[in-house]
Amino acid sequence: MITSSAPGKIYLFGEHAVVYGENAICCAIELRTHVQAEFNDHIEINSVLGRSGLNFEKHPYVSAAIERMKEFAPVDGVKININSELPVGSGLGSSAALTVSTIQALNHLFHCGLSLEQIADLGYNVEWDVQGNASPTDTYVSTMGGVFMLPSRRKLELNDCGIVIGDTKKNSSTKKLVTNVAELKNRFPEIVTSILSTIGKITYCGEYSVCNGDYESIGKLMNINQGLLDSIGVGSLELSQLIYSARSKGAYGAKLTGAGGGGCMIALADASKTVDVSDAIKSAGGVPITTNITDKGVVVETKR
């Protein structure tokens, strides 16, 4: 039996735009998804969503991961148990953490010998299979851990910053939001393409600010990024309420993270202000989540 785990993530900048090849900066967080895999006489998948066999409705990401792994091993009989610290469908990359952790568990159970780069690439393919469109960002960061600029895969350092996450507790679906953006882009190609390209430029400026530890500039750029995410229809009333209340308590900046439409927002604040920002998020109806950025990517936890 193998147990593996992989982290979720937050976006400082660039979600959605990165699906179209623009820049994004994404950070792995300490909340993880744990996957246990063992040999069985048939395929069985167990999670908070229930029990199933290979089932693209109930367990799309695990089912797609198993299908992709069949290229490397005869994955016909396996039992998979999923436990996650990440809220599901909330912009914190639960799908990527689940996908990457599943691939790593199967990689070790069937002795496939896949490298981390191969795991990240397979994970990207799985997100593509399920969502009909995806960027390599979430799966790459979940595999490697740390902070990365995508698509260049440049590793960055973000030290001593206070990040507060606020959950609206309204789920969303990345597949649906990514499809909505694609539809808007088809309807207004020039406008939406230039918005996505501006988000890429914000990320580019953001990289400079991250490298200099210039949190004030990072915050201002996050706020501009949020305005553009709103403009392409991935914001929501609940997200805006949490974002504006975090800003009102002196956060450097605040924006949604991940696909949007619901789910989570993030605020960047001085360490002396994170408690106030957290309280403001709570008063505005959100649930603050305490976590940190981590360098720990996918790992095998136990082998028996």
Ligand X SMILES: C[C@@](O)(CCOP(=O)(O)O)CC(=O)O
CA torsion 87-92-95-99 (nearest 10°) is -110
Contacts of 70 (CB under 8 A, 6+ apart): none
Give which of 56, 16, 41, 52 is closest to 179, Cα–Cα.
Answer: 16
The H-or-E segment that residue 90 falls in is none
Binding of ligand ADP by 82 (CB under 6 A): yes
Catalytic residue among 121, 129, 138, 167: 138
- Residue with smaller CB distance to ligand X, 219 or 262: 262
> What's the rounded Cα separation, in Å, for the pair 65 and 63?
5
Question: Is residue 138 annotated as part of the catalytic site, yes or no?
Answer: yes
Is residue 2 within 8 A of residue 111, CB to CB? The reply is no
CB of 73 to ligand ADP, least distance (A): 22
The answer to whether 87 is a known ligand-binding residue is yes
CB of 162 to ligand X, least distance (A): 21
Q: Which stretch binds ligand ADP (CB under 6 A): 72-80, 85-93, 143-151, 231-239?
A: 85-93
Q: In the structure encoding, which two tokens stand for residue 302, read together?
A: 């136990």
Residue 104 one-letter amino acid: Q
The answer to whether 92 is a known ligand-binding residue is yes
> What's the rounded Cα separation, in Å, for the pair 110 and 80?
13
274-283 helix and 237-248 helix, angle to the nearest 10 degrees = 140
137 contact, one of Mg ion, ligand X, ligand ADP, none, CB 5-8 Å limit per kind: ligand X
* Residue choice 95, 135, 209, 245 for contact with Mg ion (CB under 5 A): 95
Binding of Mg ion by 257 (CB under 5 A): no
- Residue with smaller CB distance to ligand X, 175 or 247: 175
Binding of ligand ADP by 246 (CB under 6 A): no
- Residue with smaller CB distance to Mg ion, 63 or 95: 95
**Structure letter (DSSP) for residue 118:** H
Residues near ligand ADP, by CB under 6 A: 33, 47-49, 60-61, 82, 84, 88-95, 98, 173-174, 258-259
Residues near Mg ion, by CB under 5 A: 95, 174
Binding-site residues, in ranges, read 87-97
What residues act catalytically? Answer: 138
